[in-house]
Amino acid sequence: MIILGLNAYHADSSACLVQNGQLVAAAEEERFRRIKHWAGFPRLAIEYCLQEAKISLGEVNHIAINSNPKTNLLRKTWYSLVTRPDWRIIIDRARNARQRMSIADTLSKEFPGQSCSATVHHIEHHLAHVASSFFVCPFEEAVVLSVDGFGDFASAAWGVGKGGSISLEKKVFFPHSLGIFYQAMTQYLGFPHYGDEYKVMGLAPYGQPEFRCEMETIVRKQSDGAFELALEFFRHHNQKIEYKWNNGIPVIGQLFAKPLEELLGPARKEGEPLEQKHKDMARSVQWMYEEALFHLLNKLHARYRLDSLALAGGCAMNSVANGKIYARTPFKRAYIQSAAGDAGGAIGAAFSVWCTLSGGKRNFVMDHAYWGPHFSMANIETLLDAEALRLGQAGCRVIKVTEDLLVKQTAKAIADGLVVGWFQDRMEWGPRALGNRSILGDPRRDDMKDILNLKIKRRESFRPFAPSIVREAVSEWFETDDDVPFMMKVFQVRENKRTQIPTVTHVDGSGRLQTVCQKVNPRYHRLLKEFESLTHVPIILNTSFNENEPVVCQPQEALDCFLRTRMDVLVLGDHYIERLS
């Protein structure tokens, strides 16, 4: 049974391919289009998945998409009749629904000459979210929770996953949404672009939650664990908001209303200086999100009496809150896959179809994120031959070495304070670079953040860099012994270790760690161990291999990024490329 899973006509468009219950390939469209968060129909991601599986579109049996516009139809109709929102909202949503319902026609247009007789399945948005976590997690039974902006007229859903089935018991419906709250406040703080919420999360530790009372006016916790918004502070429920989801960068217009500025003061404009009140506001927003999330999680644990949690949805990307789940709730285990947001819905839709049609059979656990394209040594050598002149003009030397020498040279370069581009094997699934498309640096240097921002990143100074650590050393360096393979949880660095790794220790003493196991990524693990042998620190600074663009996918993109920035070393497979001048 071959199932093609899709997140289409939405931000972070993506595709995956599941064959007999096993994930074969998964990738976001942005990596091929080179446009962050690309929204539309994921033709190139589909093309990659088919190539990776060595099949044609005609061999696909089922197509699963993570949206079902027919879901909650009565509730949508009732809301429109009662509230009479701007008629343009209804037209926009109807247009998007038509696109999602015409997937088969779109495939025929995008893949001419390839017949497609696959059955199309529309999986409700939040079911796809929780399935993307539970059906690939190691738990036999767990509480499942999805929290995001909106999908199929709901912003959250919860219930229980057991074996090969999921039962959703309750949802939070439009117009109430924790995701919209966080996104609106992100805009208010002067970060207007889609996906900028992580900037608020990074800014929050520099402030104090001085605006808690105001936040509790905006978000109201309910006795059953749910939440409501004070709608007078928002525009999404009754005014036309600009949404662009088709063939390009996603755009969302202003979500907050004038009363929010009357409550909190004038909104910060993009590019204006960040003052302490903005840092305090960011901390207060993060505080409110955590208050609402943990209120809900505690209610769910009390209701279901299960110690395992499978979490998904765009809000599950809030790694700071994720790292507090064990401290703030009774849950003992929490799984969040590497693409917890809408991209991951492609996997959830595909595995929902698989579990339904196979009678509830589960035979796959996602313990790594390496599901994207890979390139042979022959591909890399052909590229380096073609680019020999450009490399020479840039004063670079290229050598091919054994793995033993490769990790030794790279570890020494990092220990010497050089910035290294590290390109290996299959590209990561999800937004995080996890050791195959990474830029690496020395976490011991106080100035490494400034070096990276000067040479490559040019990003806000308040944003932290992340540590990769060998799995066996986690409890020695962090206040946890949890598996964090996808960099989806933030934990405190042990106090006696913080001065040893200042560049990856955030201002509040935390770090968004990635645990690296030898069996999952042996070469990256070996590099970490070699760095440890040189420095007695089993940790390397790891940030995404990009420069204000999507993470690099192909060797050509890695080489281009290396040459146009001031990166010191590029490791392409077995090839070590260094600047001599």
Q: Which of 428, 426, 451, 425 is nearest to 440 (CA)?
A: 451
The β-bridge relationship of strands 420-423 and 569-572 is parallel
Domain 2-137+341-357 is of which CATH architecture? 2-Layer Sandwich (3.30)
Distance between the two ends of the chain, CA-based, in angstroms? 55
Which of the following CATH numbers is that of domain 172-335: 3.30.420.40, 3.40.30.10, 3.40.50.10420, 3.30.360.10? 3.30.420.40
Helix axes 555-564, 377-386, angle to 10 degrees: 40
What number is the average pLDDT over the span 438-446?
97
Task: Record the tokens describing residue 179, joined without a space.
Answer: 């995701």
Is pLDDT at 94 greater than 60 in this prediction?
A: no
Task: Record the tokens describing residue 321, joined without a space.
Answer: 């809150």
Is pLDDT at 93 greater than 70 in this prediction?
A: no
3-state secondary structure (DSSP) of residue 48:
helix
Is pLDDT at 244 greater than 90 in this prediction?
A: no
Measured CA to CA, the distance from residue 58 to residue 42 in angstroms comes to 17
Is pLDDT at 54 greater than 90 in this prediction?
A: yes
Q: Where in the chain is the domain with CATH 3.30.420.40?
A: 2-137+341-357, 172-335
The β-bridge relationship of strands 165-173 and 154-162 is antiparallel
Phi-psi sector, 340: left (phi>0), alpha (psi -120 to 50), beta: alpha
DSSP one-letter string for 128-188: HHHHHHHTTSS-SEEEEEEEEEEETTEEEEEEEEETTEEEEEEEEETT--HHHHHHHHHHH
DSSP one-letter string for 524-562: HHHHHHHHHHHHS--EEEEEES-SSSSPP-SHHHHHHHH
Q: Which of 88, 14, 25, 80 is nearest to 52 (CA)?
A: 25
Is pLDDT at 74 greater than 80 in this prediction?
A: no
* Segment 205-229, tens digit of pLDDT: 999 999 999 999 999 999 999 999 9
Q: Which of 189, 13, 184 is nearest to 96 (CA)?
A: 13
pLDDT at residue number 67: 95
pLDDT at residue number 192: 96
- Residue 160 phi, psi dihedral angles, 5° rounding: -135, 135
| Lowest mean pLDDT, pick from 91-105, 140-154, 389-403, 458-472 | 91-105
The β-bridge relationship of strands 308-312 and 141-151 is parallel
pLDDT at residue number 86: 62
3-state secondary structure (DSSP) of residue 386:
helix
Sign, Cα dihedral of 78, 82, 84, 89: negative
Cα of 413 vs its chain's centroid, Å: 29
Task: Record the tokens describing residue 435, joined without a space.
Answer: 């050791």
Measured CA to CA, the distance from residue 144 to residue 163 in angstroms comes to 12
pLDDT at residue number 89: 58
The answer to whether 44 touches 6, Cβ cutoff 8 Å, is: no
The answer to whether 368 touches 551, Cβ cutoff 8 Å, is: no
Q: Which helix (H) or strand (E) holds 212?
A: helix 212-218
Q: Which of 21, 18, 37 is nearest to 342 (CA)?
A: 37
pLDDT at residue number 231: 98
| Lowest mean pLDDT, pick from 41-50, 240-249, 278-287, 527-536 | 240-249
- Using pLDDT thresholds of 50, 70 and 90, give the confidence band for residue 242: confident
Per-residue b or e along 491-506, where b marks 16 or more CB atoms closer than 10 Å to that residue's CB = bbbeeebbebbebbbb
The tokens 């391919």 sit on which residue? 17
- Using pLDDT thresholds of 50, 70 and 90, give the confidence band for residue 98: low
Helix axes 345-357, 125-134, angle to 10 degrees: 80
Q: Which of 313, 317, 311 is nearest to 342 (CA)?
A: 313
Q: Which of 433, 92, 130, 349 is nearest to 245 (CA)?
A: 92
pLDDT at residue number 409: 98
Cβ neighbors of 275 (< 8 A, separation 6 or more) are none
Taking the CA atoms of residue 245, residue 246, residue 247 and residue 253 in that order, the dihedral angle to the nearest 10 degrees is -40
The tokens 């879901």 sit on which residue? 71
> Which CATH number applies to 377-579?
3.90.870.20
State percent of the chain over pLDDT 70: 96
Q: Where in the chain is the domain with CATH 3.90.870.20?
A: 377-579
* Segment 328-386, tens digit of pLDDT: 999 999 999 999 999 999 999 999 999 999 999 999 999 999 999 999 999 999 999 99
Beta bridge mates, 162: 141, 165
pLDDT at residue number 158: 98
Task: Record the tokens describing residue 371, joined without a space.
Answer: 């599901």
3-state secondary structure (DSSP) of residue 62:
strand
The β-bridge relationship of strands 514-516 and 510-511 is unpaired
Tally Cβ neighbours within 10 Å of residue 255: 23
Q: Which residue has the higher pLDDT, 5 or 459?
A: 5
- Using pLDDT thresholds of 50, 70 and 90, give the confidence band for residue 91: low
